[in-house]
Amino acid sequence: MREGFRHQATGLKAADLQAPPEAPAAQSPPAAAPRAIPSRLHDYFELTKPKVVALIVFTAVVGMLLATPGVPPLPEAAYAILGIWLAAASAAAINHVLDRRIDAEMARTRRRPIPTGHVSEVGALLFAFTLGLASMLILALLVNPLTAMLTFASLIGYSVIYTLWLKRATPQNIVIGGAAGAAPPVLGWTAITNSVDPNALLLFLIIFTWTPPHFWALAIARRDDYAKVGLPMLPVTHGIEFTRLHILLYTILLVVVTLLPYLTGMSGLVYLVGTIILDAMFLRHALVLMRGTGLPIRTFRFSINYLMWLFALLLVDHYFIASAHAEGADEPTIINSHALATLGVPGDPDFLAPDGGDVWVTNDNRDRIEKLRIGETKPIATVSVQGPCGALTVAFESVWVASCPQGALLRVDPERGEILSTIRTGLADPFGELSVAAGADSIWLLTDDQGVLSRIDARSNQVVATVSVKPRSFAAAFGFDAVWITNTGGSDAGSVQRIDPATNSVVATIPVGPTPRFLTVGEGAVWTLNQGDGTVTRIDPETNTVVASIPVGVAGPGGDIAAGAGRVWVRAEKVLLSAIDPATNAVVARFGPPAGSGGVRVAGETVWVSAHDIETVWAIKP
């Protein structure tokens, strides 16, 4: 053993020495004879530590799948898997180069490609650099820069910080360095959502806690090897008994951590039951090892299976719940397969307002509105708004959004992100189910729960007229030279009123379905989403009459409706998105699975969809 350790190993028992037999002492590698191309390819493949990298990629894929209720967008997922695999393989190859002298002395590693002379150090470095460069280009250009940056940090964390410094500096090397190995699920999650979600950090915490008992079991079995090359692994510096105790303690901590996905609502009973069984098995291994009657190598091998089974349980539970929620949804397809972009928006992304090729979204939990752009990982503009509530709109070179706590309509400069004016009007619904509608020269806003619609002049930012409408009116839209609003209360509950801007008066009241909470104007008609029975009503603006009632099957709270791109789009909790063909007045497509409440808006050929329950905004091209 090399000198320099303060603590000598103690407590070594016969069971700890029953690891697989070792090869004879290392010899200097003979000059390598030229190898055939298949053998050389195999040597370079071995540099990537394929079994280790396979587990890394598996946990990253689980992160991708857990990040969305359905199937992730296939192109992004494929590029992310390739990029993460290349980065992990690059880190492994760098590890081979930096550990080449240690590997030559250890029985477990002396047959690796560099100690045997099958691959040169320069060749391995060039190979690692090529893999790493390819990984960064794929992730940055074809996935998103956030994933590329986090992957690069993990690559450096493992191949340089851990291998070159921590591994040789402290017996806590595997605890600290385990952060790099715990990153893959986060990388998979960010590849799909462009954000670091708390649930992704739970996956990180599971692997971070799992790593010490997993690796220390191997370190006990290979203690003599590590002592011979002078690496301060815990069994070498503090002894076998001390290491066994810490394996047990970390396993107990792991049991607690693996319960968090269930306790936080990330997973359900399927995961809970399976995890309890797996945790009991891991605890048994740790206890047997603590008593000195078990083989450490068995604990090591079980820990690998444990992690794979645990993450498989997360997937089974995830899709079991998703399929249970999807019952009753007809022919659901996955919205992500049509997505131009899937944008993660931490907080509560809800109402949408397109602005050219971009979109503004309200974020009530974070007291702000944010501007999103396809291809960007973060909002390109953020404006602080206290309690942004209800729909917002972009008109007159401004963004108009209601603030429920202030009882006001705010006018925002979209370029500078500044609030230009605060128009105090009071609001009809302090719970955030309002619509702000833009007319030819005015903004229209419901300002009294008993039925008052206010007209705000876009030049003076002043209320210039009020119109008495039916109580409990919620949604408003402008089109066909009129303002249209829905009524859900009073004697005409379940109706739409038409307001003539020339006279500021109601000119028609049109009965529709029960609880017409949302409406839109476009595709040649006025459309209402009736939450009472899950139908969509089509109104002919020429005759002010109902010409069709379309069963969509989305009765219940939460929803939105928008017209454009040749379709009428219905957002609901039961089905993420339904598309109605105005030519046939029939549902022609559904996108899912369910993702809670959210909004929908159309700009040109792009349909924007939000789901605040999973903090996601999609841009899709039908």
Tell me what pLDDT residue 193 has: 76
Residue 240 forms part of a structural domain: yes
Say whether 384 sits in a helix, a strand or coil. Answer: strand
Asked if residue 326 lies in contact with residue 585, where contact means CB atoms within 8 angstroms, the answer is no
Does residue 383 share a domain with residue 304? no
CA triple 315-316-317, angle to 5 deg: 90
**What type of residue sits at position 25?**
A
Tell me what pLDDT residue 593 has: 60
Residue 346 forms part of a structural domain: yes
Torsion sign (Cα): 594, 598, 602, 603: negative
Number of domains in the chain: 2
Tell me what pLDDT residue 595 has: 67
Residue with tokens 């659901």: 332
Output the CA torsion 591→595→598→602 (10° steps).
Answer: -20
**What type of residue sits at position 541?**
P
Which of 256, 319, 259, 255 minimizes the C-alpha distance to 68?
A: 319
**What type of residue sits at position 95?**
N
Tell me the CATH number at 243.
1.10.600
Residue 328 forms part of a structural domain: no
Residue 20 forms part of a structural domain: no
Does residue 304 share a domain with residue 362? no
Instruction: Tell me the DSSP string of 477-516.
Output: EEETTEEEEEE-SSTT-SEEEEEETTTTEEEEEEE-SS-E
Tell me what pLDDT residue 491 has: 59
Which of 322, 354, 377 delimits the end of a domain?
322
Q: At what angle do helices 74-98 and 121-138 cross, to 10 degrees?
A: 160
Torsion sign (Cα): 509, 513, 517, 522: negative
- Give Cβ neighbours of residue 345 (< 8 Å, ≥ 6 apart): 195, 361, 363, 370, 372, 379, 610, 615, 616, 617
Does residue 422 share a domain with residue 275? no
**Mean pLDDT by 10-residue block, N- to C-terminus, for the chain (622 residues)?**
38 41 42 64 91 93 83 82 96 91 84 90 94 95 91 90 85 86 93 83 95 93 88 91 95 96 86 95 94 86 95 87 43 49 76 90 86 85 86 91 86 89 79 75 83 90 90 86 85 83 93 87 94 88 94 75 92 81 88 75 90 81 74
Tell me what pLDDT residue 321 has: 54
Distance CA 80, CA 456 (A): 48
Residue 129 forms part of a structural domain: yes
Distance CA 378, CA 375 (A): 9
- Cβ burial of 253 (10 Å; 0-12, 13-18, 19+) is middle
Which of 322, 351, 379 delimits the end of a domain?
322
Tell me what pLDDT residue 611 has: 85
CB atoms within 10 A of CB 52: 16
Residue 56 forms part of a structural domain: yes
Does residue 337 share a domain with residue 313? no
Tell me what pLDDT residue 320 has: 67
Residue 2 forms part of a structural domain: no
Phi/psi for 248 (5° steps) reads -65, -45
- Cβ burial of 459 (10 Å; 0-12, 13-18, 19+) is exposed
- Cβ burial of 268 (10 Å; 0-12, 13-18, 19+) is middle
**What type of residue sits at position 137?**
L
Does residue 426 share a domain with residue 551? yes
Which of 511, 426, 518, 432 minimizes the C-alpha distance to 466?
A: 426
Instruction: Give the single-character DSSP code of 325.
Output: H
Task: Bin 24: left if φ > 0, else alpha if -120 < ψ < 50, else beta.
Answer: beta
Does residue 368 share a domain with residue 291? no
Does residue 416 share a domain with residue 304? no
Does residue 391 share a domain with residue 294? no
Give the range of the structural domain holding residue 248, as residue numbers without chain letter. Answer: 37-322
CA distances from 448 to 91, 175, 391, 472, 489 (A): 62, 60, 16, 9, 13
Residue 14 forms part of a structural domain: no
Tell me the CATH number at 492.
2.130.10.10
Does residue 600 share a domain with residue 505? yes
Does residue 484 share a domain with residue 411? yes
Does residue 592 share a domain with residue 612? yes
Torsion sign (Cα): 211, 216, 222, 225: positive
Distance CA 420, CA 248 (A): 61
Global confidence as pTM: 0.55
Does residue 234 share a domain with residue 98? yes
Distance CA 200, CA 194 (A): 12
Terminal alpha carbon distance of the chain = 67
Task: Bin 235: left if φ > 0, else alpha if -120 < ψ < 50, else beta.
Answer: alpha
Asked if residue 185 lies in contact with residue 204, where contact means CB atoms within 8 angstroms, the answer is yes
- Cβ burial of 337 (10 Å; 0-12, 13-18, 19+) is middle
Which of 294, 322, 350 delimits the end of a domain?
322
Distance CA 314, CA 262 (A): 10
